[in-house]
Structure 1
Amino acid sequence: MRDLIMLALFSLLIWKTMKEPIWGVLGWVWMGVMNPHRLAYGWAHDAPWSMVIALALFMSLIVHRDKLTRFPVNGVTVLLLIWILWIGVSPLIHSFYPEREFAPWSRAFKVVLMVLVSMLVVQRRRDLDWLALVLVISIGYYGIKGGLFTVMTGGAARVWGPEGSFIEDNNSLALATIMTVPLIRYLQLQATKRWQRNLALGAMLLCMASAVGSQSRGAFLAICAMSFFMWLKSRNKLPLAIVVLVALPLIFVFMPDSWTDRMETIKTYDQDGSAMGRINAWQTAWRLAVDLFPLGGGFTVPGPAAFAKYAPDPTIPLTAHSIYFQALGEHGFMGLFLFLGIFFLTWRRATRLIRATKNVPELQWARDLAAMCQVGLIGYATGGAFLSLVYFDMPYYLVLMVVALDRIVAKEMDARTKADVAAGIRPVNVHSPYWGGT
């Protein structure tokens, strides 16, 4: 039955994609983030859904090429373009296992490529709202499910993500769930009906409960950092502060002793084998990057060969368990610079968006979305310090949203300026005060 439901939904999606490319983008995001086919048990489980939706999207781009927007050229997109090229450099020049490089490179390449392609399609507020909703549904399904399990079992049960995905591991799923909370908050701020706002509130609380119940130390730190920034960036700070100050302590109180014991290891990391294994991997990545400067060792760094040569303790070859050391070890100092630069420039662009729309009531939604994208990036920057998720889709979709939002706001501000000039409110030689756009 699930296979047939999947086929019906996917067929509808293909039909809609051929009519409008945005549906292909939404379908790609849905398949890549939620992996709904992994919830089926028959032939649909391993069918090439993502490849089919990608082909349909590219066909739709050709058919509707006159409706596409120009590719935005700015600091963020330039770094993305260089990044997508650079991640193929290290594996070509230096790799410990050349025969194993193609699969992880292909996966990472497709994530960034489709984000760049989506920038030609996402060009209206409606597109951004739909994208936010698809991301919320895709991750929120697991977050709400995990939150319910956590509440009903007192934290004894954990929810794992779909197999073969970036969020298969419970720690990775916890971070993805945390990053979804700001998008739920954005949708809540735009909701016009009370039941929609209450539904969003319940979803946020359950997602946070799910992340706490994962017993992930990185997720715990990410929740703390993100909760503060979400309060800082939100409208209606008092109600949100009350919810956070009341809900989070209650969630922590109901956690089992095993949760408390695990969180305590943050202070005694030097006595925890898992933490020391990560530090060993971080030192390995640093030594490798220094030796191969400015390159890295490719996608297959977490293996016996690299650790035998560079690790302080070669007997525990682990993945980097840090987006920063993963980027450094696999793609060198140049790769780390590009990776950090993408999100730094995205943050700056979102900050300027917030300032530009501060006193424009019609663009309050844009201010909310830019602020919540920043909150999501804070969650990624904090929780990602302890997870190998450099190529995880979610943060790149936040980048996509900020870049598209930048273009929408620039167009709106330019139209407002022209209207003011026509009405004699502004001098003819005064241009739009907004710096953004392409």
Structure 2
Amino acid sequence: MRDLLLVGIFLAVLPIALRHTWIGVLLWTWLSIMNPHRLTFGFAQDAPFAAAAAGVIFLSLFITRDKLRMPWSPPVIVLFLFVFWMCITTAFALDPGDSWHQLNKVLKIQLVTAIALMALHERRHIELFIWVNALSIGFYGFKGGLYTLTTGGGGRVWGPAGSFIADNNHLAVAVIMVIPLLNYLRTVATHKYLRLGLLLLMVFCAFSALG
């Protein structure tokens, strides 16, 4: 059932992502950070959803009528210089095999990041991007925090298998990093129950990190 639900959501969003690059970026971000396919139990568990979303993003660059422009601000320039520096240091790495493998993964992420910089230039784009990032990690923060409270800290909280945050320490860093984003969303939210829900989610994220 989860597999069909995920595939249904993915296929429903794809046509919109083709027309609007920023929607594709949000879809790819959700799939890459939350890894919802790892929560399924059937054929969807190992399906390359993020890779397919990235392919749609590249196609949308030639189809979309949205304005795409690179904001050449100092932080963006520093980011690109840092990526260039990673390429140089990898060339002189002590363990070239593993280093080039890791660089390959990083460059794929940075390529989509560059497209995101071009596509997410309106306030609503940025805030939706924050929502996707915050709730994708916040889901595991809530789940892990609830588990920590119900077990009295007797169990260890792990992230989704096969992801960048699968390790318990990596997940702890992620949920701590997402707390300021949740707090920002709380400050801009207009509904009091939404603000309360985000505050509670921040608390659960803190307990998840402890777990």
Same fold (TM over 0.5): yes
Map of 1:182 onto structure 2: 180
What is the rounded CA distance, in whole Å, between the counterparts of 1:25 and 1:82 in structure 2?
22
Q: Distance in 2 between matches of 1:126 and 1:91?
A: 37
Which residues in structure 2 correspond to 1:324-363 (within 5 Å)? none
Q: CA deviation at 1:29?
A: 0.9
Q: Is the 8 A contact 1:158 1:170 kept in 2?
A: yes
- Specify the alignment match of 2:69 in structure 1: 70
Q: Compute the displacement of 1:2 (Å).
A: 1.6
Distance 1:158 1:167 in 2: 14
Following superposition, the deviation at residue 192 of structure 1 comes to 1.5
Identical counterparts, % of pairs: 37
Deviations along 1:84-137, whole A, 9 cap, x unmatched?
A: 222222333x34443434321111111222111111100111111111111121
1:134-173 alignment to 2 at 5 Å? Answer: 134-173=132-171
TM-score normalized by structure 2?
0.93
CA distance in 2, matches of 1:200, 1:110: 32
User: Is residue 108 of structure 1 aligned with residue 114 of structure 2?
Assistant: no
- 2:185 aligned partner, one-letter code: L
Residue number in structure 2 paired with 1:205? 203
Aligned to 1:45: 45
Cα distance in 1 for residues equivalent to 2:29 and 2:107 = 15
Residue identity opposite 1:26 in structure 2 = L
Which amino acid is the alignment partner of residue 47 of structure 2? A
User: Structure 2: 5+ residue runs without aligned partners?
Assistant: none
- How far off its partner does 1:8 sit? 0.7
Partner residue of 1:118? 116
- Report the Cα offset of residue 210 of structure 1: 1.0
| 8 A Cα contact 1:80 1:112, kept in partner | no
Matches within 5 A, 1:414-425: none
Distance (whole Å) between structure 1 residues aligned to residue 173 and residue 97 of structure 2: 31
Which amino acid in 2 is paired with 1:123?
H
CA distance in 2, matches of 1:97, 1:145: 37
Alignment pair present for 1:82 and 2:81: yes
Alignment length (residue pairs): 211
In the other structure, the counterpart of 1:280 is none
Matched letter for residue 139 of structure 2: Y
The unaligned stretches of length 5 or more in structure 1 are: 214-438
Question: Could you say what secondary structure the match of 2:26 adopts?
Answer: helix
Q: Is the partner of 1:123 in helix, strand or coil?
A: coil
Partner of 1:19: 19
Secondary structure of 1:67's counterpart equals coil
Q: Which of 22-31 and 157-166 deviates more?
A: 157-166
Quote the Cα distance in structure 1 between the aligned partners of 2:44 and 2:173.
Answer: 27
CA contact (8 A) 1:35 1:165 kept: yes
Amino acid at match of 2:98: R
Q: Is the 8 A contact 1:144 1:203 kept in 2?
A: yes
Indicate if the aligned counterparts of 1:61 and 1:68 stay in contact, CA closer than 8 A. no
User: Structure 2: how far apart are the matches of 1:206 and 1:95?
Assistant: 40
Q: Determine helix, strand or coil for the equivalent of 2:119.
A: coil
Amino acid at match of 1:86: W
Letter in 2 for 1:2: R
Alignment deviations for residues 328-366 of structure 1 (CA, whole Å, 9 cap, x no partner): xxxxxxxxxxxxxxxxxxxxxxxxxxxxxxxxxxxxxxx
The whole-number CA distance in structure 2 between the counterparts of 1:180 and 1:90 is 29
